[in-house]
Amino acid sequence: MAKEFLGHVHCVYGGVAHEYGTHSTSARILAKEQKFFEAMKDGYLYQHVTENTRGRGTNTPHLLDLMIMNEEGKVDNLNHLAPIGKSDHCCLQFKFNCRTVHQGKSYIKYYYDRGEYLDHEEQNQGEVARNKRGKE
């Protein structure tokens, strides 16, 4: 996963993980989860959701929803909103700070309206007259 971030300006991954909030490597965490945590550390990736995102009523709350980015400080005003419908996952509202790279196209623009065409016309008429005399 960390390799996918290389070469990109901004990368955002979102998803749901099983008990992400524990950050532990206990015996019940499988090899895939261990590799995931190692990839996060090795790739200098940041998880921006820090509060529990699942749980309703008397259920034990858990941090399951992830927002992983390759830069710190790309998320502002992260709010946990009420779940939609009968879901037990809260909604996340946030401001994503990103910059765009403008790759403008260069081109030549001629300003024909600024030309001194009358002066050029007089010069050209003089040259044409001289050329005609020279050929005769």
The answer on pLDDT for 37 being more than 80 is no
The answer on pLDDT for 128 being more than 70 is no
Sign of CA dihedral 69, 71, 77, 78: positive
The answer on pLDDT for 126 being more than 80 is no
- Compute φ and ψ for 108, nearest 5 degrees: -100, 130
The answer on pLDDT for 6 being more than 60 is no
Q: What radius of gyration do the chain's Cα atoms show?
A: 32
pLDDT at position 66 is 79
Taking residues 35-58, report their average pLDDT.
Answer: 81
**Helix, coil or strand: residue 13:** strand
Question: Percent of the chain at pLDDT above 70?
Answer: 64
Taking residues 32-43, report their average pLDDT.
Answer: 79
pLDDT for 71-120, tens place per residue? 887 888 888 888 888 888 888 888 888 777 777 788 888 887 777 666 66
Do 128 and 136 form a contact (C-beta atoms < 8 A)? no
pLDDT at position 5 is 45
CB-based contacts of 136: which residues, under 8 Å, 6+ apart?
none
Do 20 and 45 form a contact (C-beta atoms < 8 A)? no
Do 52 and 61 form a contact (C-beta atoms < 8 A)? yes
Domain boundaries defined on the chain:
2-96
The amino acid at 26 = S
pLDDT at position 100 is 73
Pick the closest to residue 83 from 107, 38, 52 (CA basis): 52
Taking residues 31-60, report their average pLDDT.
Answer: 80
